[in-house]
């Protein structure tokens, strides 16, 4: 997984555990794709301060994941649901139950991807 995607997912799960300033700066950088300079100007701090806050926030997010493992569990469950969906698609016949199961799994996977 790319670093940006990885940090964004960690932020989705654990972002509320950061300070408000860390949340705002990580959001500006990872969600709004602002540069360090743009963020520094927005918050009235130096580029180095922004860099330090980003690194500290990333480290905290990684620490939460190391302790709680919610993102890894989420990814594992999503992958398993996709495997089940593939298996159902491979079954022959038009059993109405197959369609209901397929729809439920698709809804779960879609909810998890939001």
**Whether residue 72 has pLDDT greater than 90:** yes
The DSSP line for 41-55 is HHHTS-HHHHHHHHH
Kindly indicate the confidence band of residue 96, based on its pLDDT and cuts at 50, 70 and 90: confident
Residue 114 has pLDDT above 60, yes or no: no
- For residue 27, with 0-12 CB atoms within 10 Å meaning exposed, 13-18 middle and 19 or more buried, which class applies? middle
Contact 71, 9 (CB under 8 A): yes
Q: How would residue 1 be classed by pLDDT, with cut points 50, 70 and 90?
A: low
In the Cβ-directed half-sphere of 45, how many Cα atoms lie within 13 Å? 13
The CATH label, of 3.20.20.70, 1.10.10.10, 2.40.50.100, 1.10.150.240, for the domain at 3-68 is 1.10.10.10
């Amino acid at each position: 997984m790319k670093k940006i995607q990885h940090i964004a997912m960690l932020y989705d799960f654990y972002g509320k555990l950061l300070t408000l300033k860390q949340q705002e700066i990580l959001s500006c950088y990872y969600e709004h794709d602002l540069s360090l300079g743009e963020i520094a100007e927005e918050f009235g701090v130096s580029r180095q301060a922004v860099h330090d806050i980003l690194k500290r926030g990333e480290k905290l997010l990684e620490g939460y994941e190391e302790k709680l493992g919610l993102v890894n569990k989420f990814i594992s469950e999503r992958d398993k649901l996709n495997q089940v969906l593939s298996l159902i698609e491979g079954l022959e016949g038009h059993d109405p139950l197959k369609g209901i199961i397929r729809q439920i799994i698709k809804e779960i996977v879609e909810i998890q991807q939001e």
